[in-house]
């Protein structure tokens, strides 16, 4: 990536304003055209959202987008939709024992609505507050139940693949546990044994840092600073780590860039949450300093890898080891090309990763590590400057997607390849659109001098 130091959050505001205008049109178009009886919308085919997936993990992004739209614009119609849809459709996600996506579905809906009530943007209503809080409390404990112990006595939240499987994605979904813990909730088990959700969320984050992120320390022949594995596989009989693997990337020894982006955003967010927990709470988990150093190392490493392996304008290809990527030559010195003949872009990785870059940059600046902080901050702005404009921002009024050139599952061949094209392009995903809105809101609120956007806003102070 060629980081631009001339960009500021204020300079991006015109693009952000246009994004919200287009976003409103897309949300209304989906509401008008999409048949909810088919299930949650996942990604577009020829510009129309369709459903395809292993689990219902994207519905919270669909209705969470309505909350973000209201937050940014004040248009009450989107708040009305968000409230109704959350009540009508999201209850099954609260106690869904079969997924590792509670932070995606429930913090994006119930959590965002509660955050707005805490900010005074929604009128205080005790019944409504209790409803949102109960949903978030239960969601965190249900997520924590998906637990596999590791040999060191700690453990991780296992993916829908089974108890052997740690997904890097879940580092951003672990926020469900942190919110629930801060609301005073815990996981109740046999004989009324109560397990701390902070403990489970922290141990999961530490396991992700240890097994999903590489640091150039010789773990295997492909160990590079900041590389990530989508899946880490364990022997559930003895808790030993066995190997890296990938479900949506090219291999366990290459870096699927959306997984990388989840780690970037997730570790930066977990760094931001640490001040909310007391020294006494963190001491039995390793202590504040140790935990902070581990999170910071993982955040820096993944953000560095993104910067080093992304096109000059800040948009990555779908996997840094994709088999035909070499045919593009030194793609990191050139503008990203979603219409190339060899490997697809994944704009959703840019939308997610940019937030990680910005949050890490802010965190380091506040620690007076200005040079490093500015580097990550400006890398985030560089990415958004590209993402919030053509050819990535979707201006076609008939296209339901907001951000173009997202990829879902390249190995399975799920992504649409349009006539005349050789790789998937021109399509959108529900997670890419949501995270573009979320990072736009992040910058928007900084520009408007509004409260800093964080998922912990769901917790009443």
Q: What is the DSSP string of 295-354?
A: HHHHHHHHHHHHHHTS-TTS--BSBTT-TTGGGG-SGGGS---TT-SS--B-HHHHHHHH
What is the distance between the alpha carbons of residues 424 and 305, in angstroms, rounded to a whole number? 24
CB under 8 A, 24+ apart: contacts of 414-417: 414/43, 414/52, 415/43, 415/344, 416/44, 416/45, 416/46
Is the four-CA dihedral 162, 167, 171, 176 of positive or negative sign?
negative
Residue 457 to residues 91, 128, 149, 193: CA-CA distances in angstroms?
21, 16, 31, 29
- Cα–Cα separations (whole angstroms), residue 217 to 19, 203, 428: 42, 22, 37
What three-state secondary structure class fits 424? Answer: coil
244: phi then psi, degrees, rounded to nearest 5: -80, 155
What pLDDT sits at residue 62? 97
Residue among 293, 346, 291 nearest 154 (CA)? 291
3-state secondary structure of 2: coil
Say how far apart CA 170 and CA 211 lie, in whole Å: 13
Predicted local confidence at residue 330, as pLDDT: 96
CATH number for the region 14-458 comes to: 1.50.10.10
Lookup: tokens for 62: 């669909």
> What are the boundaries of each domain within the chain?
14-458
The tens-digit pLDDT sequence of the chain (461 residues) is 999 999 999 999 999 999 999 999 999 999 999 998 888 999 999 999 999 867 889 999 999 999 999 999 999 999 999 999 999 999 999 999 999 999 999 999 999 999 999 999 999 999 999 999 999 999 999 999 999 999 999 999 999 999 999 999 999 999 999 999 999 999 999 999 999 999 999 999 999 999 999 999 999 999 999 999 999 999 999 999 999 999 999 999 999 999 999 999 999 999 999 999 999 999 999 999 999 999 999 999 999 999 999 999 999 999 999 999 999 999 999 999 999 999 999 999 999 999 999 999 999 999 999 999 999 999 999 999 999 999 999 999 999 999 999 999 999 999 999 999 999 999 999 999 999 999 999 999 999 999 999 999 999 98
Q: How far does the chain reach from its first CA to its final CA, in angstroms?
A: 39
Q: Where are the alpha helices (DSSP H) in 74-146?
A: 76-89, 91-94, 102-105, 112-118, 126-145
Structure tokens at 37: 């009886």
Q: Kindly state the DSSP code that residue 188 receives in the 8-state scheme.
A: E
Is the alpha carbon torsion for 185, 119, 57, 84 positive or negative?
positive
Closest CA to 433 of 390, 371, 388, 391: 388
Of 386, 402, 385, which is closest to residue 338 (Cα–Cα)? 386
């Amino acid at each position: 990536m060629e980081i631009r130091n001339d960009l500021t959050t204020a300079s991006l505001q015109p693009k952000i304003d246009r994004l919200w205008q287009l976003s409103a049109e897309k949300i209304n178009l989906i509401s008008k055209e999409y048949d909810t009886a088919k299930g949650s919308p996942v990604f577009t085919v020829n510009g129309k959202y369709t459903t395809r997936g292993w689990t219902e993990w994207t519905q919270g992004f669909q209705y969470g987008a309505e909350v973000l739209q209201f937050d940014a614009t004040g248009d009450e119609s989107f708040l009305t939709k968000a409230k109704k849809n959350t009540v009508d459709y999201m209850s099954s996600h609260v106690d869904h024992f079969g997924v590792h996506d509670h932070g995606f579905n429930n913090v994006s809906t119930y959590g965002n609505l509660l955050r707005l009530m805490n900010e005074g943007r929604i009128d205080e209503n005790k019944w409504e507050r209790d409803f949102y809080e109960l949903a978030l409390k239960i969601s965190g404990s249900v997520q924590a139940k998906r637990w596999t112990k590791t040999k060191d006595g700690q453990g991780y939240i296992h993916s829908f693949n089974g108890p052997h499987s740690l997904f890097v994605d879940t580092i951003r979904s672990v926020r469900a546990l942190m919110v629930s813990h801060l609301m005073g909730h815990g996981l109740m088990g046999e004989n009324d044994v109560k397990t701390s959700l902070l403990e489970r969320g922290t141990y999961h984050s530490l396991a992700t840092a240890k097994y999903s992120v590489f640091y150039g320390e010789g773990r295997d022949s492909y160990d590079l600073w900041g590389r990530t594995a989508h899946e880490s596989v364990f022997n559930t009989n003895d808790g030993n780590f066995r190997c890296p693997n990938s479900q949506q990337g090219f291999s366990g020894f290459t870096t699927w860039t959306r997984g990388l982006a989840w780690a970037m955003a997730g570790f930066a967010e977990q760094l931001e949450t640490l001040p909310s927990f007391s020294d006494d709470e963190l001491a039995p988990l390793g202590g504040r300093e140790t935990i902070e150093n581990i999170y910071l190392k993982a955040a820096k490493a993944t953000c560095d890898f993104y910067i080093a392996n992304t096109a000059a304008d800040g948009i990555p290809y779908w996997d840094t080891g994709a088999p035909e990527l070499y045919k593009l030559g030194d793609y990191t010195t050139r503008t990203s090309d979603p219409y190339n003949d060899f490997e697809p872009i994944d704009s959703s990785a840019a939308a997610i990763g940019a937030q990680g870059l910005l949050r890490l940059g802010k965190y380091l600046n506040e620690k007076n590590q200005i040079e490093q902080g500015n580097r990550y901050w400006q890398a985030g702005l560089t990415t958004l400057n590209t993402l919030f404009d053509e050819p990535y921002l979707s201006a076609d009024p008939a296209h339901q997607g907001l951000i173009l050139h997202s990829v879902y599952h390249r190995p399975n061949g799920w992504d649409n390849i349009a006539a005349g094209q050789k790789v998937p392009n021109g399509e959108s995903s529900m997670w890419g659109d949501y995270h573009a809105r979320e990072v736009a809101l992040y910058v928007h609120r900084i520009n408007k001098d509004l409260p800093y956007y964080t998922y912990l806003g769901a917790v009443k102070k």
